[in-house]
Structures are given as structure tokens and as C-alpha cells.
Chain A
Amino acid sequence: SQQGEEDPQALSIQEGENATMNCSYKTSINNLQWYRQNSGRGLVHLILIRSNEREKHSGRLRVTLDTSKKSSSLLITASRAADTASYFCAPFNQAGTALIFGKGTTLSVSS
């Protein structure tokens, strides 16, 4: 398993603004997944993008994947206070192996 590294570590924005966070990884993947964690809670699966996909949308979320640069980005449009959470990316190689997490991006959205 490999770890994703999120950037920036912290991001503070106003409601209505867009939030972009980035993820880098080191070796080839089958897919890359993004999770959200509210304080003191478990992780919620947000979106999965496969290695042969370049962009994926889900509601206000847009994920891109550039396998040549080994990077991904998560864009949250028209952010809300409820989007305040930590966001983690998880490169996925092989079934049966654990997801390894970096420090995440802590997003604060103020109203």
C-alpha cells in the first residue's frame, strides 16, 4: 500500500467559495479515493476515480486524476459551513491491502 500526501494541510475559506485540495502519490494505482472525516467521526467515502479516468463529478465535488504526474485534485464548489472537515486521499493498488492515509487537508468554511 502507498500513502497519499495531501496539500495544503489547512485551508480556510468563506461560504460560497470553491475549495481545492491536492493529492500526490508515488507508484501506479488502480484507483484513487477521497474520504471526508468530520471531527471525532469515522471516514465517509466521497468519490472514487479509476486510473483510466481523468475527471469525475459527484454533486458539488469534482475530482481529477493525472496519472502521468501521479496527482489528483478534489474541488468542492460553492462550499458550505457543513463542508468543514478533514479530507484524505487514498491511492488504491490491490484488493486486500489497506488504505494508508496522509495528514489530510483540514478545510474550514466560515459563514
Chain B
Amino acid sequence: GAVVSQHPSRVICKSGTSVKIECRSLDFQATTMFWYRQFPKQSLMLMATSNEGSKATYEQGVEKDKFLINHASLTLSTLTVTSAHPEDSSFYICSAEPDRGRETQYFGPGTRLLVL
């Protein structure tokens, strides 16, 4: 089956630093990937849609300068949380839509971010 990986799986950082999270589709190409965040016991909230070769589309209320998204290849999208603060602590999950058979999406295992 289609596999999506995320790296790192968990990260602890100091307030004010930047953290980069990678999302890779391992066995398929994905022009389109999505980034979500999830707070404890809540649902996934869509943050942005990432398209290879173009700017990401951000959901309302998501700061594009705070959450930088780069989709540099058909198998890799990165989310950088800039100048992280404790309120950015969350579970970040990506998903990828296969270019072939574009009727479903596959999710990564998530990245747990803790900002101290």
C-alpha cells in the first residue's frame, strides 16, 4: 500500500527556534499534499494545501509567514514552524494525494512538536 513518512516523529525545541518537518511519499508521486494540526482529543484541522512547484494555499487563520511550506519535489513537502512558541505545540500530520488514482489520500504518522 501507499506509504507516507514524516520526519521527525517528535521534536522538542526552545521557544523562538524554527523547526522543519518533512513529509515524504515513499512509493508514489504526489503533486498535492496537505498539512493538518491536531490538538489533544480534537479533530484534525487543515492548515494548508501544498502543491509542487507553486505556492501553498493556506486556510483562514493560518499565518503563512509562521508556517512555511515548501513542496520542492513530487515526493517531498516540508513545513517549517518559524519562531516557535509554546502555543505551537501540537501534533502535525501530513497527507499526500497520489498523482495516479486521485481519489484518496494517505496520511503520515504525524510529528509531535513540543515547544518549551
Bound complex: CA A33 to CA B104 (Å) = 8
B interface SS class? strand
Interface size of B by CB at 8 A reads 24
Interface residues on chain A, size class: 20 to 34
Bound complex: CA A33 to CA B43 (Å) = 16
Choose from A44, A48, A98 the contact partner of B103 (Cβ within 8 Å): A48
CB A12 to nearest CB in B, in angstroms, measures: 16
Q: Which residues of A contact B43 (CB under 8 A)?
A: 88, 101-104
B97–A35 touching, CB < 8 Å: no
A59 CB–B CB distance under 8 Å: no
Choose from A42, A95, A100 the contact partner of B97 (Cβ within 8 Å): A95
Asked whether A92 and B104 contact (CB < 8 A) given A40-B91, A43-B93, the answer is yes
Asked whether A96 and B97 contact (CB < 8 A) given A35-B107, A42-B109, the answer is yes
Bound complex: CA A88 to CA B36 (Å) = 14
Asked whether A45 and B104 contact (CB < 8 A) given A40-B91, A101-B43, the answer is yes
CB A94 to nearest CB in B, in angstroms, measures: 9
CB A16 to nearest CB in B, in angstroms, measures: 27
Q: Mark B67-88, 1 if CB is under 8 A from A, else 0.
A: 0000000000000000000000
Bound complex: CA A40 to CA B104 (Å) = 22
A71 CB–B CB distance under 8 Å: no
A98–B104 touching, CB < 8 Å: no
**A74-111 at interface with B (beta carbon < 8 Å):** 88, 92, 95-104
A30 CB–B CB distance under 8 Å: yes
CB A60 to nearest CB in B, in angstroms, measures: 18
A-B contact list, 8 entries, CB within 8 Å: A35-B107, A41-B110, A42-B6, A42-B109, A45-B106, A99-B34, A101-B44, A103-B42
Binding site for A on B (CB under 8 A): 1, 4, 6, 32, 34, 42-44, 46, 49, 91, 93, 95, 97, 102-110, 112
